[in-house]
Amino acid sequence: MSLNILVVGAGICGPAFATLLQRSNPKHKITILERFDSLRTSGQQVDLKTQAPHILRKMGLMETIKAHCVNETGLEMVDSTDKQVSYFPATAAGERRPGLTSEHEIMRGDMVQVLYDASVERNAALKPQIGSQGGILYRFGQTITALDQHPDEVEVTFSDGKKQGFDLVVAADGQGSRTRRLAFGEEVSDAAFKSLGIHGAYFSIPRIESEGSLARGHLAPGRRMIMTRTSDRPVTGVLLFAMEQSNRLRASYKEPQEAQKQAFSETFKDIEWQTDRLIEGLRNSEDFYAHELGQIKMGQLSTGRVVLLGDAGYCPSPFTGLGTNLCLMGAYILAGELARHGSDVKGALKSYEDEMRPFIDDCQRFSTGSLGLFFPYSRLGVWSMGKLMWAVSKVNGLFPQFQKVDNHDGCIREYPELKLKG
């Protein structure tokens, strides 16, 4: 039996899920809704580790992904005079070592584009076979405004006022998911967001000659951290993180982007490393993105015929480096369970929840208590942390929260119903 499915969000897991599911039955009708007018390709580097390369290989996309991977060779922490205080080389697949860079790192926008292209190409190839009976349809510049659950379908109201019934609605609309709020209610949705008390801004600035393949990190007093990542690209990605004591940054998210830029400029204006370059770059950036870092912890991943996928259901926070991995696992398992259960959508959603829980718990296991160590308040604290990081860079294995427990590595459940390659 073919299903009529709405996926809200054309980020990473929305297109991945649609492509995977379509393999099991090309006659499924899958509509992907994106609130922006085109693909949202901003963002900095995302890591592909643990299960992500296995899934991409099964999808036949790993070679394309590898061709887009950036060549970052490690991380150096520097002091305000630009002198290296510690160095962490890139971590090879399967290696357990503290560090920022993993073997496969790709710009988020490239990843989104590869997955979108794969879904469109597959759809075009299948068109002669399925005609108008199925396929993947993208609708940009639209969102949903209401969901009405009935025993056999969900009635969705779109932002253009039209209504349509679906067998299943997949919320793939990220950490702040509107679909989650509509389906589970504001109260449950708000309570699911567990803030790390850290605010992050990401943007690109022109590269300077002295920047090479190493990512660079700097800790500044006042609980601030700055990273630059250039690798082999013509621009430099900047990541600003602040453990905020006031409410200035959080309040800015309700305002237009210029106000967010202003709030981050004020917060970082007195750092003593690359200050003018970073602040000017921030003001002029065209791909600025800022948010409060946190985890999404939902008691259930579905209600009726609405199911949460990726950051919408279980964002582990960018500090784990596992968001993309977990969302691809979700896309693979949800597609697999739907393929395995046929018309029994509710049975598939129950199995998806059972299969995902160990992976979610694993990826969300994170020592938030020790996070403060990376955000010292005083100059003495910054100096001490520098010494500690130097010691760790020399002695492997002291920072357990950075050695992700990847005991599920490679043990991906097989779904022959998905008709994948590997």
Ligand X SMILES: Cc1cc2nc3c(=O)[nH]c(=O)nc-3n(C[C@H](O)[C@H](O)[C@H](O)COP(=O)(O)OP(=O)(O)OC[C@H]3O[C@@H](n4cnc5c(N)ncnc54)[C@H](O)[C@@H]3O)c2cc1C
- Selection from 19, 350, 308, 334 nearest residue 170 by Cα: 308
DSSP 397: T
Binding mask 38-57 for ligand X (x = CB under 6 A): --x-xxx-x-----------
**Binding to ligand X by residue 327, rule CB under 6 A?**
yes
Fill in the per-residue mask, 137 to 166: x = in contact with ligand X (CB under 6 A), - = not in contact.
------x-----------------------
Report the run of H or E that residue 396 belongs to, with start and end: none
Binding segment toward ligand X, per CB under 6 A, in 121-129, 245-253, 259-267, 321-329: 321-329
SS3 107: strand
Minimum gap (Å) between residue 390 Cβ and ligand X: 26
Shortest approach of ligand X to residue 292 CB, angstroms?
Answer: 13
Q: Is 318 in the site for ligand X (CB under 6 A)?
A: yes
The CA distance from 258 to 281, in Å, is 13
Q: How many residues belong to the site for ligand X (CB under 6 A)? A: 31
Site string for ligand X, 86-115 (x = CB under 6 A): ----------------------x-------
Query: What's the start-to-end Cα distance of the chain, in Å?
Result: 25
State the Cα–Cα distance between residues 48 and 107, nearest whole angstrom. Answer: 11
Backbone angles phi, psi at 112, to 5 degrees: -60, -45
Long-range contacts of 115-118 (CB under 8 A, 24+ apart): 115/12, 115/15, 115/16, 115/19, 115/61, 116/10, 116/15, 116/39, 118/15, 118/19, 118/59, 118/61, 118/64
Q: Which of 13, 65, 227, 242 binds ligand X (CB under 6 A)?
A: 13
Single out the segment in contact with ligand X by CB under 6 A; choices: 89-97, 116-124, 310-318, 338-346: 310-318
- For residues 218 and 208, what is the distance between their CA atoms, to the nearest angstrom? 17
φ/ψ bin of 227: left (φ > 0), alpha (ψ from -120 to 50), beta (otherwise): beta
Pick from 341, 340, 354: which is nearest to 302 by CA? 354
**CA angle (312 as vertex; 311, 313 as ends), nearest 5:** 90
How many CB atoms neighbour CB 279 within 10 A? 18
CB of 40 to ligand X, least distance (A): 4
CB of 374 to ligand X, least distance (A): 16
Shortest distance (Å) from residue 182 CB to ligand X: 9
Q: How far is the CB of 172 from ligand X (least distance, A)?
A: 5
> Which residue's Cβ has the minimum distance to ligand X?
11
Can residue 244 be called a binding residue for ligand X (CB under 6 A)? no
Strand order in the sheet with 214-220: 84-89, 74-78, 214-220, 224-229, 235-243, 193-206, 289-296
Please pick, from the candidates 5, 7, 12, 56, the single residue that binds ligand X as defined by CB under 6 A. 12
The residue within the footprint of ligand X, chosen from 9, 53, 98, 304 (CB under 6 A), is 9
CB nearer to ligand X: give 200 or 376. Answer: 200
Number of H-type helices and E-type strands within the chain: 13, 18
180 binds ligand X per the rule CB under 6 A: no
Q: Does 36 bind ligand X (CB under 6 A)?
A: yes
Q: Pick the piece of the chain touching ligand X (CB under 6 A) from 29-37, 64-72, 343-351, 377-385.
A: 29-37
Among 30, 172, 249, 338, binds ligand X (CB under 6 A): 172
Instruction: Answer yes or no whether residue 363 interacts with ligand X by CB under 6 A.
Output: no
Contact 354, 340 (CB under 8 A): no
x/- mask, ligand X, residues 203-242, rule CB under 6 A, reads ----------------------------------------
Sole binder of ligand X in the list 72, 110, 244, 311 (CB under 6 A): 311
Asked if 181 interacts with ligand X (CB under 6 A), we say no
Instruction: State in angstroms the smallest separation of the CB of 377 from ligand X.
Output: 26
Q: Cβ distance 202 to 40 under 8 Å?
A: no
Angle at 143 between CA 356 and CA 16, to 5 degrees: 40
Shortest approach of ligand X to residue 128 CB, angstroms? 30
Sites of contact with ligand X (CB under 6 A): 8-14, 33-36, 40, 42-44, 46, 108, 143, 172-174, 178, 202, 289, 310-311, 315, 318, 323-324, 327
